[in-house]
Structure 1
């Protein structure tokens, strides 16, 4: 736990980045707010870990004598528990109002609420009556006949037995993240399950070399097509994919395989649904959210939390602790951080000046919440991982709170995929090598990044995956290895090169969305009315990667080799030393430790005698290259030649090597 900070503490963030000095007041105010809000929240409690226990009090709790059920509904006039157990009688089981908007009922008898029985709560408020799903319910199921959702008591006689007590995330190793969605992870035209993922996909992840999975859509969402981003029930694991025990089994198995499990946490907004979600639970629009227009995200069509309200803080922080305690998650990727920390949600804002970070537009209450959330996570699980989905580059996002930061471990480098998209829109002869090197290698001092070419965002309908932008319809006809096609040749070559330069140019972590590693064709389109509720584009066709006569197989093999190589050699995160950038010849070369990376992005030119200054006497040998026949290449790069440094012809003052660099290839040489 971070010690309670004195508001006058000298901020190290100002030492790390002197350009922030004009914004000293804003940063000091950031820390004053953090210190004061934390003190107000804790009161007599010793730590955030002791504070964030809402799930241990609210909701349904079984004792030896019966069941307690509690809710927080300050504006309600009356609450009644209804369900299978009382024939859905809306008057027979009233809750009693306690202090501070809390309601409670005790049901005697240990079996009064049997396992899997259905429940709701009937709320009377301000002249209205409505049935709602309990706020802290741990399972929600849909009625197959009327499609309505109900809360479900989940109290199996035999609790799940965890066997992962020895697992710890090795935070000294960079996270190599396989971003996943359980439902679309299977090849069948239907919704995949937790058990199917455990049995079929986890072994793939392990074989590829990824050490972390990041699971989307875990929190319950009434609309499957929302990709899990319109959360309705924050304490319920999505029933679209199976039972709570099934999810626990998946995570337990991942831990047995040495794989960390992150959850895509959606605390940036919530579904506006009233029948299924938490919106207007007590009859008001301001119980959890800002009232009126301030509480609406018009672009996302969702509700916005009021982070200045202590009860909301308690709900959200308890939610974090619940997922760690109950399901053993190893950390979180916080969704929509940019939307949270700016009143305009960062929409249309070019964050090209520090003024954009510190102004009336900054949502300081959200910043405070994120600081407290990060402190809580480390308090509960010191070896956890937290990642911010922030495209703005807010200073201090990934600095320790005591430095004046927000406390995340990593920030998703969201500019990278945007850069790749914009680059592909240009003629290959116009690719900017300086800009490419700068985008992939530059970061704020001491702030760690997760690099990626594409995530699920680029794969969704309305957008295109990296390879589909290049190959488009040619992928339908020419991904067979026996077929010759220039567009496919280009797409396959650049797919490998882009991934290798992105993972290797200094980022401290790497992310790939499932299937993209082998160039999964087309887009992701969830079942909806517009496509006749089809699952055709909402699945992963693993058979493509497993068929050795297809180029998908080659791309999959390269990704596996690349991930293992970067991990085994410890090449993530270390700062690259630029050796050569040639805009005209489209060449980039850099050194990391004892390895030399060489990229030739020129669309037509190969260089038989490319001279690279190394500035030392040494010998090198190629250990990985994108043109290797086993990765679908043409075998133009030798792995047998030993390249010995010598005085270069271009400049006799430089020692270096002379090497053949074929068009559209990348290679890595190791000092021998």
Structure 2
């Protein structure tokens, strides 16, 4: 046990640090606050610092003092910052600790460290002294990633919940560790042709059933699967295999666990005091006070931390809509209008703009992505133009409309074709990602394959058509794990994906289809280069509702790189189906969802068709095609 020695003549803070902290612009606060292994006057130990402006006293207690709450007091700084600090010699890496805080108002609380780099494995709740030392081997990726993260590059994201992607049945069905995942995931993602992995929140969270969306450790990967260095190793290996890493990040709310941020120094510090602004009725969690400078420091520092220390390539910001609207999830009388009488959360808007400006200033080769479900304008436009400053935004409208359309029996689809084609009217108003995400395959919504109507064969054909349509539609791509091989069961976070079903030909065929879609997508610039520009898309015909057929052209910067796409949304094959094309020549069939290797009937065009000088769809040339049942065809002009 270390005696009650705390040295107060050592600090990591300069006067400039305190100035930035007070004004809300200290975006590397993780280098100062929290616990840091240091050497001072020949003594090795730990420097502790914590923001608790309404505290009367603050103590550190843990392994080193037998968990004696009041033997090691910290000292409050003289500068009015509300920061308590102290250096305790003799403490080493791996030491567990907490803060014991007595507020000015008589309350006492025991808290984990908001800036801790590591935590005990839940349900234990102590913070752990740790370092972030690691030798990275991803230099080549880091130097080139601006190309892979560019809005003009192919981005196909494989969305993963870490604890349920694959488990070890021989060991009580435990999840893989970070290092075990580094053996399996990079090879699989590379084989399948995805460009990026997106992890549901990997930050420390007490309740596993929250999927990580109730965060307590905003600077720590969850210890359920290993150490910070273990997670760094996973990111490193993904990068060495040419795969980008995106993390879900949750600045919209935080849980009410006693050891977390809520009521942190005996007052409502990180959250608003008034529950009409500070408590989320849907998720029973607290809402950050975005108007408080120190809270903005905390959140923006967390975002930059993952990009800095973990080499992460992007952040998908969860539940942005809940941040933008003061009345989100509330009835009349349950929310407080802004100073202009409106429902817009002005402080959250300013926070998001500051967040994105800071990210793109410090890490211009990364991306921020908004999960925003409303029609809020300019989400993915720069802050200096009045936008929120995100790089991209999930297209929730496309997702809901498309899944609704596909769930209908094909006999009724002719009455709903506008539901399918409507997305093109707004496709270029934002930089959209097309998500088929985890939220759509849980809580009774059914897996993707089970959403599809028809018999066994038609379900698979419909899903191949859905995925092909997503890859053909303007926008980057996201697919949640299990969808790539048509898992029947809904996703459940407590068990592995059903990998065993790949022994069946139709599931193996679906996996092969997604692999070939990814490879086609990456090889054809017309499918990604002008994703966010109207010049990248041209309808041929969207009006054949009677036969439920649509056709369009995807275009890149080079005219000869265009790709023709034709979709038949009924189980009836169409023979001698004529569509207009913009150019004369041989249109080679480069991908067909009905090919036998995918589980289809093999109906197609024998490799391609020559155009004829027959006017159709206001074009001087046309082709006569065979359209497979519930199929999508991709053609490219041979030049």
Give the structure-2-normalised TM-score. 0.87
Are 1:324 and 2:307 an aligned pair? Answer: yes
- 2:278 corresponds, among 279, 284, 295, to 295
Compute the displacement of 1:310 (Å): 0.7
Compute the displacement of 1:299 (Å): 0.7
Segment drifting more, 562-571 vs 170-179:
170-179
- 1:68 corresponds, among 29, 33, 47, to 47
In structure 2, distance between residues paired with 1:105 and 1:209 = 50
Secondary structure, counterpart of 1:92 in structure 2:
coil
Are 1:184 and 2:160 an aligned pair? Answer: no
In structure 2, distance between residues paired with 1:587 and 1:651 = 14
In structure 2, distance between residues paired with 1:541 and 1:568 = 30
Alignment check: 8 A CA contact 2:447 2:491 kept: no
1:643-669: per-residue Cα shift (whole Å, max 9, x none)?
232315x78974201111132111111
Are 1:669 and 2:635 an aligned pair? Answer: yes
Secondary structure, counterpart of 1:610 in structure 2:
strand
Are 1:231 and 2:215 an aligned pair? Answer: yes
1:344 corresponding residue in structure 2? 327
- 2:410 corresponds, among 420, 428, 435, to 428
Distance 1:401 1:466, change over 3 A: same
In structure 2, distance between residues paired with 1:253 and 1:652 = 52
Secondary structure, counterpart of 1:367 in structure 2:
helix
1:215 corresponding residue in structure 2? 199
- 2:100 corresponds, among 122, 126, 130, to 122
- 2:377 corresponds, among 395, 412, 415, to 395
2:246 corresponding residue in structure 1? 262
1:140 corresponding residue in structure 2? 119
1:153 corresponding residue in structure 2? 129
In structure 2, distance between residues paired with 1:149 and 1:136 = 14
Alignment check: 8 A CA contact 1:613 1:655 kept: yes
- 2:181 corresponds, among 180, 197, 202, to 197
Compute the displacement of 1:433 (Å): 6.0
Give the structure-1-normalised TM-score. 0.83
Compute the displacement of 1:288 (Å): 3.5
In structure 2, distance between residues paired with 1:375 and 1:325 = 15
Secondary structure, counterpart of 1:142 in structure 2:
coil
Distance 1:370 1:540, change over 3 A: same
Secondary structure, counterpart of 2:164 in structure 1:
coil
Are 1:274 and 2:258 an aligned pair? Answer: yes
Segment drifting more, 216-225 vs 462-471:
462-471
- 1:555 corresponds, among 501, 510, 521, to 510
1:492 corresponding residue in structure 2? 460
1:504-528: per-residue Cα shift (whole Å, max 9, x none)?
1211x110111111111211234xx
- 1:505 corresponds, among 448, 453, 473, to 473
1:521-580: per-residue Cα shift (whole Å, max 9, x none)?
211234xxxxxxxx3xx32122323x2x43111000000000110111111216221112
Alignment check: 8 A CA contact 2:166 2:176 kept: yes
Secondary structure, counterpart of 1:621 in structure 2:
strand
| Structure 1 unaligned spans of 5+ | 1-40, 350-357, 472-485, 527-534
1:144-203: per-residue Cα shift (whole Å, max 9, x none)?
xxx4321111148xx321111232322141321111111111143332321222111121
In structure 2, distance between residues paired with 1:187 and 1:142 = 18
In structure 2, distance between residues paired with 1:406 and 1:491 = 40
Are 1:566 and 2:540 an aligned pair? Answer: no
Distance 1:652 1:555, change over 3 A: closer
Are 1:591 and 2:566 an aligned pair? Answer: no
Are 1:627 and 2:594 an aligned pair? Answer: yes
Alignment check: 8 A CA contact 1:221 1:232 kept: yes
Are 1:418 and 2:400 an aligned pair? Answer: yes
Distance 1:510 1:442, change over 3 A: farther
Alignment check: 8 A CA contact 1:49 1:376 kept: no
Task: Give the alignment of 1:505-584 within 5 angstroms.
Answer: 505-507=473-475, 509-526=476-493, 535=494, 538-545=495-502, 547=503, 549-570=504-525, 571-572=527-528, 573=531, 575-581=536-542, 582-584=544-546
Compute the displacement of 1:242 (Å): 1.4
| Structure 2 unaligned spans of 5+ | 1-15, 333-339, 556-561
